[in-house]
Structure 1
């Protein structure tokens, strides 16, 4: 079974902990729809699929029942954006692959828009969603700044120097950074290829304070100010 070690470490989920659907629940879904889920997605549902903070704090993993289904052009839709604007799925022709590409669609009504490539495979897509969800409320300590005014070259230089970039997990305008998955930073990139938003998250208060001190900007939101 795929271990999803980076996600587990980021959220403080031990290897012994399981928050998954049962084998019977997954089999019932597969038999009802006459399909077999790709191994990596199946493993995720079996091990972490019911972890609500991980899977529902912002964007949402769909449940393997009536919530998951095929679009008219035969993409198996299993993940949705928090406002229901974007849906993500797997091309039906790729379901036999262990770890296929993930595609997105911006048409929330009937998914008739052209599907775009979002991530090179399921495992990387799920990691990107875990990071996004974490920096947007899933991790205990999080903060964000959405403005181009203070996200100057100096800020980007600090992030690139102090944290390791997680590359090739999405094809969208995002950059991800980490310190061994004890904390994560997400940058939104605008059309000029400059940071237009910064989001940070960790479950460790000392690391959170350290990030705040390193990245010396005025944050729009800090979760520790809610305490």
Structure 2
């Protein structure tokens, strides 16, 4: 039985790096590079078209912030995993990445095998760092303290992006009634009466960052 390949999209504004990583992915039997992009605008458009399993994205792109782009991407493609690459081992940057919902942060100058392992292991609802990247507070710890799960964090990001109940149901792949129940549970946990109030409360409590990835 042939194992289904995990599809990967590469986003970086250095064309040679993109070519090298794409070639490395193509040499792996269980990974497949299905697309590339060199800026945030094309990254978002291409990801929405291809819907890859994983997006590996540089933290700094020519036209914007990779972490902010990752947060926007995850709001519309919650099933996709994002791995951020950085040449700067700044704990504040890594914490921002963790808060945005990405699955991992890796050093851009690290070993290729380590990056491939992160791409294979990227899971929604978990956050890990590669060698040389500082360990930061896990998003799931903060959500748990608020009586929420990381999955609830994904739902909050969808609400922050303006999705209504039907949109949330569609993005999460559940029935509208199930989406409605999950939204109500999140509102109840945050003591909010409306989705807007829930998002505002989540932002004020440091559970969600809107407009900052």
TM-score (norm 1): 0.28
TM-score (norm 2): 0.29
More strand by share: 1
